[in-house]
Amino acid sequence: MPISSAITALVPDVRAWRRELHQNPEINYDVEETARFVAERLRAFGCDEVKTAIGRTGVVGVIRGAKGPSSRTIGLRADMDALPIEEETNLPYRSRTPGKMHACGHDGHTAMLLGAARRLAESRDFAGDAIVIFQPAEEGGAGAMAMIDDGLLDQFRIDQVYGMHNWPGSPIGQFSIRKGPLMAAADEVTIAIEGKGGHGAMPHQCIDPVMVGAQIVTALQTITSRNVDPLDSSVISITQFKAGSASNIIPQTAWLNGTVRTLKPATRDRVEKRIREIAAGLAEASGASAEVTYRRGYPPTINHGNETDFAASVARKVAGESKVDANTSPTMGSEDFSFMLEARPGAFIFIGNGDSATLHHPSYDFNDEVLPYGMSYWVELVETALAP
C-alpha cells in the first residue's frame, strides 16, 4: 500500500534527526548525548512514561493506546551505538568525531523508531501499550542483555518484542525475514600452544609449536565439512597466528585466535567440543600441549514462528506482497537482539538499504529513502498487534 501522508509528513524531521545523530556518533555504552537526544524527543511527543539509564544508558518510552483498556504490550527495539571507524565519506553531515562513525545504520534505526513513536503518540489508534526501546552497546557490548538484566521486559510487561536492521544490497522498500535462525552466534576462540623452543637448525631437539598450530588451523576446517550437517552452517575463521621472534629460532609458544559462527545451539555445542578435542589431540601427538579458551558471545538470533508470520504480514501491508521475502537465507553475522528473542517471543526483520557500501565499511551511509518504510512498518505492527 502507499506510504500514508501522516508518515510522509514526518520524513523531513526524521531525516534531520538521523543526520544529526550521524554527525555525533557515540560508541558502546558511552551514548549519553544520544540517549539525551532520544529522551527529550520522547517527552516532547507526549509519551506516557520515559525511563532512562536502563542497561546503563538505554532509554524506554511507553505509549498507551486510546482504543480501550488492554493488558497487551509490544516492544519495539532500535540500537543507538556507532563504531570505532574513521569515516571516509564526504557527506555534509559526516561524523564530527575522529575515529567514530555510524557505519552500521544505528542512526537510521534510532531515527525511524523515534518517528514511529511520534506518530503512535499522536494517533494512539490501538489498545494496549507500545514500548519503544532504545538500546546502547549492540556492537559487542551486549546492551540488550544489560537492559534485560535491569528489568526491561518485566518492568514494562513486554509480551512480544520486535527488531529491525537495514540491509545493504537489498532494494529500498524490500523486507526480508525467516522463521528460526536468521543470524549466527558469535563466539571467540583462543588456542595457546606450548612446545619446546630451540635452534632452527636443530628441530629434532625441539617441539615446534608453529607446526602444531598450522596443523590445528587446517584441521579445524574439517569440523564444518565433517562434523556439521551439510544442511546446517558453521564458520571457523582463525584470524590471528602469533609465534616466534627470529628466523633461526623455533619458538617455545604459539598463539591462535579467531571467530566461530553457528546458527543452532546444538551445533554451537558440538563445534566447541570438537575444537577442544582437535587442538588437544594434535598437540599431544606432537608432544606439545594446547589450552583452548572458548568465549561465548551473542547467541544465534532465532525468530519465533507465529511472530515471524505476523511480522511478514505487516511488511506486506507496507511494501506489497512481492517486496517481502519470508524465507530469506540466514546470515553468519550476529546481533544481540538474540538475547531478547531468548526471553520473549518475537521476530527480527531486515529492511533494504539499497545499493550502499556494506555494513561496518568506512564509506557506509544509511539511506534516508528507507525512513518512511521503516516508520510505516513500526506503526502498522503496533496498530495491528494491538487492534481493539
Residue 53 bridge partners (DSSP)? none
- HEC string for the chain: CCCCHHHHHHHHHHHHHHHHHHHCCCECCCCHHHHHHHHHHHHHHCCCEEEEEECCCEEEEEEECCCCCCCCEEEEEEECCEECCCCCCCCCCCCCCCCCECCCCHHHHHHHHHHHHHHHHHHCCCCCEEEEEEECCCCCCCHHHHHHHCCHHHHCCCCEEEEEEEECCCCCCCEECCCEEEECEEEEEEEEEECECEECCCHHHCECHHHHHHHHHHHHHHHHHHCCCCCCCEEEEEEEEEECCCCCEECCEEEEEEEEEECCHHHHHHHHHHHHHHHHHHHHHCCCEEEEEEEECCCCEEECHHHHHHHHHHHHHHHCHHHEECCCCCECCCCCHHHHHHHCCEEEEEEECCCCCCCCCCCCCCCHHHHHHHHHHHHHHHHHHCCC
What are the C-alpha distances in Å from 334 to residues 100, 165, 182, 183? 21, 11, 9, 5
Distance CA 78, CA 81 (A): 10
Distance CA 365, CA 191 (A): 37
Q: Is 325 exposed, middle or buried (0-12, 13-18, 19+ CB in 10 A)?
A: middle
| Residue showing cell 534531520 | 16
| Residue showing cell 518475537 | 346
Q: Which three cell numbers stand for residue 266?
A: 546444538
Catalytic residue among 129, 138, 335, 383: 138
Residue 81 bears catalytic tag: yes
At residue 383's C-alpha, the angle toward residues 378 and 385, to 5°, is: 90
Residue 187 bears catalytic tag: no
Catalytic residue among 26, 81, 208, 380: 81
- The catalytic site residues sit at 81, 138
